[in-house]
Chain A
Amino acid sequence: MARYGMMIDTRKCVGCYACRVSCQMQNELPVEESFIHFYEKETGVFPNVKNEIIPVQCQHCEDAPCVSVCPTKATYTTEDGIVLVDEDKCIGCKYCMVACTYGARTQSHKTGVVEKCRFCAELVKEGKQPACVSTCISNARIFGDLDDPNSDVSKAIVKYNAKPLRPDLGKSKIYYVR
C-alpha cells in the first residue's frame, strides 16, 4: 500500500500547458474542461518582484472535504490514497465543488458528473507515471510514494523543503516548491 503524492516545482514551470493538454487527452476531456488550472501570482515590491506560475489540481487530501460531504459516497479514497469519483454513483449535486478548498473539481457538461484529477490511477496501477508528470517538459513534476523515504518524490520534498499550498486547511498531498 502506497500513499501517493506529488511535488510541483513552480520555479521550473514555464506555463506551457503541456500537462493540462496531456491530462485532457488521458481523460478524454473536451477542450473547455480540464482538471489542471493555472494560476499566476505576483509577489514582492518593484524591483524585487517574483512572478509564479502555479498549476493546481486535486490535492488528494487525506482528510478530503469532498469525500466527507459527498452524500452518495461517489467520491472515495483508495487504499493508495488517491481520491476518486465513482461515476455511476454521482448525482451531480455539486456539494463537493462547493466544499473543495482548491476549486479542483469540474462538472462534465455531457454527463453532469463532477470529475477531477485522478492521479491517472489506471496508469499508476501499471507502474507508470501520471500523464502530467511524464509530459512535463521541464521535469517540474515528481510523482511517487510519500511513505517511501527513498522515493524520488520524498527525497525531492526534503531537498527543496516543498510544502502543501495550505497545510493549515487540510492534509493535501501535492507539495509545492515556490
Chain B
Amino acid sequence: MIWGTIIAAYLFLAGLSAGAYLTSSYVARKYPEAKAVRITGRIISPVLMAIGLLLLILDAEAGLKHPLRFIYLFTNFNSVMTIGTYFISFFMLAAAYTALMEILKKETNKYVEYAGMLFAVATAIYTGFLIGVVAAVPIWNTAILPILFVVSAMSTGIAGTMLVASFYDSKAVHRMLGVKKIHLGLLSAEVFLIFTMFLVTSYSNESAAESVATLVSGEYSTIFWIGLILVGLVLPIAVESFELYNDKKMKETEAGIMMAAAGQGGIAGTLVTESSVLVGGFILRFLLLAAAVPVPFL
C-alpha cells in the first residue's frame, strides 16, 4: 500500500468535516431551536479538517522535513491535489470563521457560510476525485467513486455531528426526524453505490475484478462484510428505520404522543448508530486504498 492508513484517515476526516459543516448549515435553517446540534457541527468541522491536514503533512515526509515546500502545492493546476488544496484552504477559512463566530456568539455572515457550504461540497467531491483520476488503478478509476465518497461524507458528517451533540442535548437529536430520514436515505444509497461500483467495474476490467475479489471473498473479506457492510451500513440502517417506525407509531397512541412530547428515549440508539456509521466511513476509505490492484504492465 503506497497510501495507507494515514491517508485513509485523512480522506475520512476531510469528508466528515465537510459533512458536519453542511449538517450544521442545514440544521441551522430547518431546526433553529436545535442550537446544540448547529454549534457542534460548526465547531467539530474545522477541528476535524485540521487533524486530517496534520495527518497529511505527517505522511508527506519530504515536506515535513522542509515545510516551505508545501507552498508549491498551489502550483500545478493539472493536478487534482492542487485543486483540492485550494478547495480545502477556502473551506478551512470559512469553517474556522463560522466556528469562531459561534464561539464569540456573533452573527455569521451568510455569504461566508454559503461559500463554506460550496467548498464543503467541493472538498468532499475532491477526496473522491483524488483517487478517482488514477487510471493505473481501475477500481478507483470509476465515475461512481466520487459520488460514493460524497454520499459517505454527508452520512459521516451527520453521524459525527449527532454523536457529539447527543451528549449535550439528547432531546434535540431525537426531534430531528428530517435529518434521520436524510441519513437513512444516504446510508441506503451508499449500499447501492458500493454494489453498483463493484458489479460494473468487475465486468469492465480484470484488475478491478481482482480488487473486488480481495474485498468480497479474499484478504479483506472479514473487515468488508463485518466492518463495512454489517456494522457500517446494515446496523445503522436497521436502527434508524426502527426509530423512524417507532416514532410513527408513537404518534398513533395517546401514551406515545405524551412520551414524544416529554422527549423520552435514551441516547443509546443514537450512540450506536452514529458510531457505527463513523467506523464504516473510515473502513470504506481504508478498504478502497487497501484493495488497489494496478493494471498489469508485463
Whether the pair A71, B298 counts as a contact (CB closer than 8 A) is no
For residue B134, CB closer than 8 A to chain A, the reply is: yes
Tell me, rounded to whole Å, the shortest Cβ–Cβ distance linking A150 to chain B. 30
CB–CB B72/A69 < 8 A? no
Q: Given the known A-B contacts A91-B70, A97-B2, A107-B61, are A73 and B297 also in contact in the complex, defined by CB atoms under 8 Å?
A: no
Asked whether, in the complex, the Cβ of A56 is within 8 Å of the Cβ of B297, the reply is: yes
The A interface is mostly helix, strand or loop, or mixed, namely: loop
CA distance A99 to B132 in the complex (A): 11
- A41 neighbours in B (Cβ, 8 Å): 298
Shortest CB distance B275–A (Å): 30
The interface on chain B, measured as residues whose beta carbon lies within 8 A of the other chain's beta carbons, has a size of 35
| CA of A1 to CA of B56, assembled, Å | 39
Interface size class, chain A: 35 or more
Cβ contact within 8 Å between A68 and B136: no
Q: Find the B residue at minimum CB distance from A169.
A: B295
A94 touches B63 (CB 8 A): no
Q: Is B131's beta carbon under 8 Å from chain A?
A: yes
Partner of A111, one of B62, B70, B133, B294: B62
Question: Known contacts A91-B72, A92-B63, A111-B65: does B294 contact A103 (CB below 8 Å)?
Answer: yes
| In the complex, chain A residues whose CB is within 8 Å of the CB of B82 | 71
CB-based contact A72/B136 at 8 Å: no
B76 adjacent to chain A (CB < 8 Å): yes
Interface residues as binary, B65-86 with A (CB distance below 8 Å gives 1, 0 otherwise): 1100110110110111110010
Q: A165-B297, A169-B297 are in contact. Are A94 and B73 (CB under 8 A)?
A: no
Which A residues form the contact surface with B (CB < 8 A)?
Answer: 39, 41, 54, 56, 65, 68-74, 88-95, 97-103, 107, 111-114, 165-166, 169
